[in-house]
């Protein structure tokens, strides 16, 4: 029997997200992005949170090999620098352009790979919203965007 191997998802994903070329234009800070939850000493951080995954397909082959397709889901919370004016047009444009940027990166193979088949792996962003006054913190404004990664893992009979 093969030995189970873990994979790292949070660091490659946060490193990729930091490459977004227009964060400064929209007053978004990812300098101190945290994972899972906000740091207790600095609630004004961007964060990436894994919100679970689901198996979307499973194939068992005659030789005993198994192919599993999973969709991993994340909430991306992007801190909007406090003190900047908020405009609905700017907010809409940022959210739409961020989702388009993810599509563009995915189309050109720039997104990180988590599965065994980079050709069929897909990443997309959707349902972006602007949150004003996050959790009673008057100076903390956030964009919240859902990220999804569809990937395939192949398990071989040994």
Contact 68, 62 (CB under 8 A): no
Per-residue pLDDT tens for 79-107?
A: 876 555 566 788 889 999 999 999 999 99
What pLDDT shows up at residue 43?
53
Neighbours of 2 (CB within 10 A): 8
Per DSSP, what are the bridge partners of residue 125? 147
What pLDDT shows up at residue 116?
92
pLDDT, mean of residues 74-78: 91
Cα separation, 106 vs 57, whole angstroms: 21
The CATH fold assigned to 10-155 is STM4215-like (3.30.2000)
**Residue 72 banded pLDDT, cuts 50, 70, 90:** very high
Per-residue pLDDT tens for 57-71?
A: 999 999 989 999 999
Percentage helix, strand, coil for the chain under 3-state DSSP, each rounded to 5: 20, 40, 40
Domain ranges of the chain: 10-155
Cα separation, 158 vs 141, whole angstroms: 52
């Amino acid at each position: 029997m093969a030995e189970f191997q873990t994979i790292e998802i949070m660091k490659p994903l946060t490193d990729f997200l930091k490459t977004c070329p227009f964060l400064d234009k929209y007053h978004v800070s990812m300098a101190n992005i945290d994972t899972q939850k906000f740091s207790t000493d600095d609630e004004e951080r961007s964060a990436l949170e894994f919100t679970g995954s689901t198996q979307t397909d499973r194939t068992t082959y005659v030789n005993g090999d198994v192919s599993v397709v999973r969709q991993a889901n994340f909430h991306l919370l992007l801190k909007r620098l406090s003190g900047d004016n908020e405009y609905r047009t700017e907010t809409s444009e940022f959210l739409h352009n961020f989702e388009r940027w993810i599509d563009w990166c995915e189309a050109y193979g720039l997104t990180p790979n988590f599965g065994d088949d980079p050709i069929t792996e897909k990443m997309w962003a959707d349902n972006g919203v602007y949150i004003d006054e996050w959790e009673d913190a008057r100076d903390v404004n956030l964009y919240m965007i859902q990220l999804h990664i569809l990937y395939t893992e192949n398990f071989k009979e040994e």
